[in-house]
Amino acid sequence: MPPQAERLPARLLAFADALRGEGVAVGTSELLDAFAALQQVSWSSQRAFREALACTLAKSPEDRRTFELVFDRFMFRAVEAIAIEPQMSERLGEGDAGAGLAELSDQQLEELRMRIAAALADGSEGAMRDLARLAIAALAREAAGSGVIGVDVQRIRRSLGLKTEPQPQLPPSDPRRDGVPREALRRFEALLRAELERSQARRAQRLPPARPLTELDRALPSGPLADLAAVHRVVAQLRRRLATQGMQARGHARHAQVDVRRTMRASLQTGGVPVVLKHRPKRPRRPEIYVLCDVSTSVTSASVFFLSVLHALHDSFRKMRSFVFIERVSEVTDVFEHERDFRTISEKITKDAGVADISGYTDYGRVFSELLSLLEDDLHPRATLIVLGDARTNGREPRADLFGQIAARAGRTFWLNPEPRLYWNYGDSVIGAYETHCRAFECWTTAQLEDFVKALTRPGEPPRELARAR
Amino acid sequence: MPAPPRSVADVEEGLRTAGYLPGQATALVSYLAVRLGKPVLVEGPAGVGKTELAKALATMLERPLVRLQCYEGLDEAKALYEWNYRKQLLRIQARDGDAAPAPRAAEPAQAASGGAPAAAERPPGGTDASEPADAAAARDGQWQRIQEDIFGEDFLLARPLLSAISAPEPVVLLIDEIDKTDQEFEAMLLEVLSDFQISIPELGVVAARTRPVVLLTSNNSRELTEALKRRCLYLWLDYPSLEHELEIVRLHAPDLDGAVARRLVEVIDMVRALDLKKPPSIAESIDWARALLLLGAGNIDERVFTETMSVIVKHRTDMDLVAERVGVRLAAPAQAASADAAAS
């Protein structure tokens, strides 16, 4: 079919555009590679087609994941766009006759439930796709039709009785008894969603608007402990970057100071004429870091992340002091220095640090006044202070003036906030008051931590006054 | 020299006979690499067979494997080429010996204080004031000849990259653990990877006589530059699925009982799901399979597991964690079974 063949390059360009829209860097050379690769594989296998595109266009694990999502979305939309062309939809319309299935009896419905649960436990993609269609056809009358696809999906799931937690009240032969595997259920829901979108597009004779991928779609499935490894990797990168950038700085500033003694000594070889200048070696600036970490309940989910950041930082920097706080502040540098294991550390800190007083709510004002008296003499312009916290005062006095005094003593001050920027300064969040004295970053994923690391180690760091103005 | 593979299935078959069981993506990308002549960047956790893939490809294509192991501080002299300065010095001295043996012997003190480079630039033979102009010109010409002579291919020591592209027969070039080097080295690689040539200031450009199949591996410990990635096909190797790993273990330890092999792969899968400093690699599953074979273990229960755990887990903290989590889970079914037996 010649028109189809001519369409392909245009389609691929559109696909590349879609990838670029999601932040994958696809260059012209990559596209040329993709075309070259496609000439070498057979297109009849979807797998080969997809892999050939993936290995030329997506060049990191994250890009690869985005690629899979965009590929599925793009191909789905491409197929649908053809399907809603008038002459095609009539032919396909016969297939949809299944939707007019007569009401199922309870027994048939029960059997359908069993088969779906079995397919989920089994995890076979093809069976799941077929059953998703069947389920929509069977349950469309009662469940679908709310107009919102997400609601329909949840209704169907509920009427099929699919849950991830075990359901001991069911008979032992029922595959749902031990709970449905989470991953399989997620895939099944995605299939339901695709099928519902498909039928909606057929009914409306046009495509729903393209939806950009959300942060949630893109995040790699991982638990908090897998994150710990990722955090360590980022911090290891930080150390590496600090090491190499230190070298660059040395290169630039090598000619700063002449070492007179060594120059004179070298001049003896040339009869007292100082031909070769000897320079004083420039000592690389060793970062001295003070970290202040909130461990209260309002940041419970984030504090594991923060503690792991602390843990990893301690592995990398020798001159570093750590503090944790809720209502009071407590130094935990020793704990990190004597313990290697993350689990023991977090246990020790929650047990022994003694940072909660009565209420267990964060009291930033008190923490900063305590910290100021603790560190007043130690802070100096070469020190870096990093605060990890959500800046939610629970209605207490923020005392931004005290924080300002601390920040003025330290060379650089950063604030990492585990909340999305959207929530800042809403409710009891007073990050705005503190932000006048430091640079605040939103930081709840390792990617954002990486951004922070880049900002922290950039050689031409803008002075604090500049950052304040921004 | 065998014909280049004609289809993805050919590659898959070839790698299988070389003792490597490729996944679908692996076979496809290898095929594209051979057909398109593009380098492949292979990333993935340690021990999923990135280096093995290169070896298997070399076996399959019946090409020699040239390996460049990267490390921190690797520089051009160790990766590209180096001048064999000892041989160059010998050459110069041999010439000097022919030309003027007597004055050299007369002025040993000057030769010693001047050192080797000075001696090369100004061959000994009396002081400047006392010599006629035409003799100086003659010496200049001679120096010119020496220079042309000693910067020839005879005096070039080829390091892996140069020897890979100047080899008369096509080779498989493996650049291992590229993420260990610094960015400057990556930049240097760009010329080699995109044009398959190396510029040597004294000699000119050495272009590849044959196109090597290039594999770069990375453990993802550092983000590689976009420029390098753009020149490569990308292959992400992850731990294999249960079935795939079972096949691999069977291939390398064919005598192991089928049920034990399956159990082994399941346990490895469990261990990998934990958060370990170093999860067990495929090579370690194979080692473990061989160890179990040697011990003649008929089943993997808690006792066998704790005794042989050190084959797959190599950190003290990891061992504690694994013993705690997996050991208990291995014990539980056995106890349940014995409880059932007692009940009946």
Contact B8 A41 (CB under 8 A): yes
Contact A51 B38 (CB under 8 A): no
Beta strands at B65-69 and B172-176: parallel, antiparallel or unpaired: parallel
- Whether A453 and A237 have beta carbons less than 8 Å apart is answered as yes
Structure token pair of residue B258: 């089928």
d(CA B90, CA A442): 65
Pick the residue of A59, A232, A311 with the most B CBs within 10 A to test the interface with B by mutation: A59
- Whether B216 and B40 have beta carbons less than 8 Å apart is answered as yes
Contact A60 B222 (CB under 8 A): no
Lowest mean pLDDT among A7-16, A200-209, B46-55, B111-120: B111-120
d(CA B275, CA A223): 10
Output B202 or B336, whichever has higher pLDDT. Answer: B202
Rounded alpha-carbon distances, angstroms, from residue B50 to A392, B216, B238: 48, 9, 10
| Angle made by CA atoms A226, A230, A231, in degrees to the nearest 5 | 115
pTM of the model: 0.60
Q: At what angle do helices A61-83 and A2-21 cross, to 10 degrees?
A: 130
A64 chain-B contacts, CB cut-off 8 A: 234, 236
Lowest mean pLDDT among A129-143, A313-327, A452-466, B272-286: A452-466
Contact A61 B236 (CB under 8 A): yes
What residues have CB less than 8 Å from A404, skipping those under 6 apart?
Answer: A436, A437
d(CA A279, CA B341): 83
Beta strands at B40-43 and B213-218: parallel, antiparallel or unpaired: parallel
Phi, psi at B172, each rounded to 5°? -105, 120
The owner of tokens 């040993």 is B108
Phi, psi at A442, each rounded to 5°? -90, 135
- What one-letter code names the amino acid at A415? W
d(CA B220, CA B205): 32
Output A238 or A363, whichever has higher pLDDT. Answer: A363
Q: What confidence score (pLDDT) does residue A204 get? A: 65
Highest mean pLDDT pick, A183-197, A283-297, B129-143, B156-170: B156-170
A146 pLDDT band (50/70/90 cuts)? Answer: low
Query: Is a pLDDT exceeding 60 seen at residue B228?
Result: yes
The owner of tokens 């059953």 is A131
Contact B28 A52 (CB under 8 A): yes
- Whether A299 and A267 have beta carbons less than 8 Å apart is answered as no
A47 chain-B contacts, CB cut-off 8 A: 24
B130 pLDDT band (50/70/90 cuts)? Answer: low
Output A207 or A191, whichever has higher pLDDT. Answer: A191
d(CA B94, CA B101): 10
Beta strands at B204-207 and A329-331: parallel, antiparallel or unpaired: unpaired
Scanning A317-375, the segments in alpha helix (DSSP H) are 333-338, 342-352, 364-375
Beta strands at A329-331 and A320-325: parallel, antiparallel or unpaired: antiparallel
Contact A237 B35 (CB under 8 A): no
The DSSP line for A400-458 is HHHHHHHHHHSSEEEEEESS-GGGTTSTTB-HHHHHTTSEEEE-SSHHHHHHHHHHHH-
Q: What confidence score (pLDDT) does residue B174 get? A: 93
d(CA A40, CA B119): 60
Q: What is the DSSP letter of A268?
A: G
Mean pLDDT of B93-117: 52
Pick the residue of B6, B7, B8 with the most A CBs within 10 A to test the interface with A by mutation: B8
ipTM of the complex: 0.73
The owner of tokens 């095929």 is B31
Q: What is the DSSP letter of A392?
A: B
Q: What confidence score (pLDDT) does residue A205 get? A: 61
- Whether B284 and B47 have beta carbons less than 8 Å apart is answered as yes
- Residue B123, min C-alpha distance to chain A (Å): 22
Contact A41 B32 (CB under 8 A): yes
Q: What confidence score (pLDDT) does residue B173 get? A: 92
Closest Cα in chain A to B194: A29
- Residue A340, min C-alpha distance to chain B (Å): 9
d(CA B341, CA B315): 38
Mean pLDDT of B301-317: 82
The DSSP line for A176-222 is TTT---HHHHHHHHHHHHHHHHHHHHHHHTSPPPP-PPPHHHHSPP-
User: In what side-by-side order are the strands of the sheet with A383-388?
Assistant: A329-331, A320-325, A288-294, A383-388, A412-417, A439-442
Coil vs helix vs strand at A82: helix
Mean pLDDT of A110-125: 75
**The CA-based dihedral angle spanning residues B65, B71, B73, B77, taken in that order and rounded to the nearest 10 degrees:** -10
